[in-house]
Amino acid sequence: MVTVTQQKCACTDCVCVVNVQDAVKKGGRNYCSQACAEGHAKGAGCEHAGCACHG
């Protein structure tokens, strides 16, 4: 049996990998930040180094 501990953020524009345990959970999906989970309200990015997502 394999246990997944990390996965790509559910935001389609995001390149971040998130620890499943630490992820922001919304709608049954795992996100790296609140900004990604909220669909980048007001254009906020996830603010992780090397990622330019803004929804």
- Map out the domains of the chain with their CATH numbers: 6-43 (2.30.170.10)
Instruction: Judge whether residue 52 has pLDDT over 70.
Output: yes
Q: Could you report the per-residue pLDDT of 8-37, keeping only the tens digit for each?
A: 999 999 999 999 999 999 999 999 999 999
Among candidates 45, 23, 28, which has minimal Cα distance to 36?
45
Q: What pLDDT is stored for residue 13 in this prediction?
A: 92
Q: What pLDDT is stored for residue 14 in this prediction?
A: 95
DSSP-derived secondary structure letter, 39: T
Tokens representing 53? 């997502």
Distance CA(40)–CA(19), nearest Å, equals 20
Task: Provide the pLDDT confidence category of residue 55 given band limits of 50, 70 and 90.
Answer: low
Helix H or strand E segment including 21: none
